[in-house]
A and B are shown apart, each in its own frame.
Chain A
Amino acid sequence: MKIHEYQAKEILRRYGIPVQPGEIATTPEQAEQIAQRFGVPVVIKAQVYVGGRGKAGGIQFGDTPAQAGDAARRVLGMNIKGLTVEKVLVTPKSDIKEEYYLGIILDRASQAPVVMVSAAGGVEIEQVAEETPEKIVKEPIDVRWGLPPWRARELLAQAGVPPTVVARGGAILSQLAAAFTGADATLAEINPLALTADGQVLAADAKILIDDNALPRQKEFAAWAEPEEANPIEFEARAEGLTYVKLDGDVGIIGNGAGLVMTTLDMVARAGGKPANFLDIGGGARAETMKKSLLFVARDPQVKGILVNIFGGITRGEEVAKGIILAQQELPAGMPIVARLSGTGAEEGRAMLAGAGLTWGSDMRDGARKIVAAIAAQGK
């Protein structure tokens, strides 16, 4: 789960990591008042779930409270990579002398969090990673002890962070590792860790991703979840226990199991169609879930037809068929639906579909061809 910069900084604060004070404004007037309280100059930072805010103009400055209000007026409502800015973080502007990078990410290969440090922090860190990977020091964390401050200091020193920053930076990195575990993060990064002109070391920007599987025990963070404006269907689907990913095509796709759904997308593409989405209903779905899934998929205005591909194990064909028939009554009239059922209850399911005048595919390939043909026929 994505969270905003100000929320990530709130987590860091709880772990004793120095972060500048900051407050959220949703109107220019609020931004002006906050600037007045903090003292100027201030930075106005768009709070959206995408990177590259700065380059998009989502980070602006105010030398007076009135200017802060104007800056907020420009940033609020701005569209950054398809997302509308609804809130800005107002925070005192620091005079940053140097920028470092501290990151912790879950690494499949080492089956542990891996810590990464670079003396070349800032917005160009990806370029650093690509062109001069030797400038990034990496090491898996032994989860039995976490990352002790002494080891964190050594890593900073190895990365070429100046001695004056190593002691404080090491304490910050060690605490970042503690925050990573404590918050059930899959990614926690401070970029940049800033050395300011007045000698402070602080997290000037922060990004944290929370493990979705841990949300049941991280109730506070779970409550921070916001619909991503670019894909509200994904957000609502997740709340229903479905995994939905929006794509660019016009063939709606529903299946059970991630691998099977991905394979169905490939098969539709091979049949000449363009998948509109990925939707995994998981295992053991009942008619009601099936119906909801179809309605979710159909909410995408680009969708011209839907392919349902179910290999029944715990999921029963009759339930799937029942769900499709229920959904059909609420779907736009004439929208083609092709269902392919196999495994448990497949024959019963097919009989129900036939009774309702619905098309089925004998296998995944046949189903893909039929839905692509049905959509093409409609366009004529």
Chain B
Amino acid sequence: MSILYHTGDKVIVQGMTGAEGRYHTPRMIQSGAQVVAGVTPGKGGQTFENLPVFDTMTEAKAHTGATISCIFVPPAGAADAIMEAAAAGMALVVCITENIPVNDMTRVAAFLKQHPTRLIGPNCPGLATPGAGKIGIMPYQIMREGNVGFISRSGTLTYEVVSLLSEAGLGQSSIIGIGGDPIIGTTFIDCLRLFEQDPQTTAVVMCGEIGGSDEEDAAAYAATMKKPVVAFISGRTAPPGKRMGHAGAIISGKTGTAQGKVEALQTAGVPVADTIFDIPELTKQALAKGARA
């Protein structure tokens, strides 16, 4: 097993014929992902890499039975693409696109409350299950099959840490890039819940960063988990954030600092690595201790 993406799951790429889609789709296929179609409004009937292109998600879904979509649509149309995928009944939507206006995402969030679709991202590198393939833009060659679940808000930092884990002989069950935007579909806590239930995963590594309170929320849940969690927080030396006027101070108070996150995690019994180079060792120690009672 693994989470969110498994061998044989069929994938539709929205925006497959654009520059990003053309670059990344063949690489997804190479990783083993079963990409079955693309959607580009106005290009229905064409093919790319021998795959059919449809005008709408509804058609693409009807012809292929796919359950997952991966979005490379430019920012102006990306929120619309997410809603189209959800309306077409996709179980999982992975939105790679960055720079989506946040007001568009508040509408997407409201729309998704009415649909059973899970969204990953936006502004994320996607996800991967080593051995099954990747959805998105992560470099697949750095991954190894294994039992460590991995969650991160950042793209390139994910690649760094996954490389370190692989070099240390710690393979991964699934790797999830949840995205760096203020409004994202799936948070740390959602992923922790999925990994806790996944029989293949024996420990979880989460890489958080300053801002928001997702790491603090995840810490509270991690305290209740049977599986060990190891964390890293980036931005420890970043100066106090650029505050968003009075209203920002009012809404966020003092949450969001690296120190607050590290403390919340440590209080929850989650070891926090000082540097990314300490993550593999802490993970090994956590695995040696095994599941908590």
Q: Which residues of A contact B (CB under 8 A)?
A: 51, 101, 103-109, 111-114, 116, 125-126, 129-130, 136, 138, 142-144, 181, 184, 186-187, 189, 191, 207, 209, 211, 213-214, 216-217, 247-248, 255-260, 262-263, 265-270, 275, 278, 283, 311, 313-314, 342-344, 363-365
Contacts and interface: CB of A to CB of B under 8 A. Distances in A.
Interface string B109-135: 110000000000000000000000000
Contacts of A187: 244-245, 247-248
Contacts of A112: 106, 109-110
Nearest to A106: B102
B237 A257 contact: no
Interface string B180-212: 101100000000000000000000000101101
B247 A260 contact: no
A270 B237 CA distance: 9
A251 to B, nearest CB: 11
A interface SS class? mixed
Interface in B220-247: 234-239, 244-247
A116 B245 CA distance: 13
B104 to A, nearest CB: 8
Given A114-B251, A136-B250, A266-B237, A257 B109 contact: no
A278 B101 contact: no
Nearest to B107: A143
Q: Which of B76, B103, B109 has the most CB of A within 10 A?
A: B103
Interface in B155-185: 155-160, 163, 180, 182-183
5 contacts: A187-B248, A209-B244, A211-B102, A313-B139, A342-B160
Contact of B247 (A103, A256, A311): A103
A258 B102 contact: no
B160 A189 contact: no
B48 interface: no
Contact of A263 (B76, B105, B138, B157): B157
> Interface centre among A105, A216, A262, A268, by most B CB within 10 Å?
A262
A144 B244 contact: no
B120 to A, nearest CB: 15
Given A103-B250, A263-B160, A265-B238, A111 B137 contact: no
Contacts of A130: 253
A102 to B, nearest CB: 10
Contact of B160 (A101, A136, A260): A260
B9 to A, nearest CB: 23
Contact of B246 (A103, A111, A266): A103
Contact of B159 (A116, A125, A129, A343): A343
A372 to B, nearest CB: 13
B40 interface: no
Interface residues of B, number: 55
Contacts of B138: 313
Nearest to A180: B103
A260 B156 contact: yes
A281 to B, nearest CB: 11
Contact of A51 (B101, B182, B213, B246): B246
Contacts of B50: none
Nearest to A114: B251
A266 B275 contact: yes
Contacts of B235: 262, 265-266
A263 B244 contact: no
B245 A189 contact: yes
Please list the 9 inter-chain residue pairs (A to B) with the smallest Cβ-Cβ separation, ordered nearest first: A259-B154, A257-B156, A259-B157, A111-B109, A260-B156, A214-B101, A105-B247, A103-B247, A269-B237
Given A108-B183, A342-B163, A191 B246 contact: yes
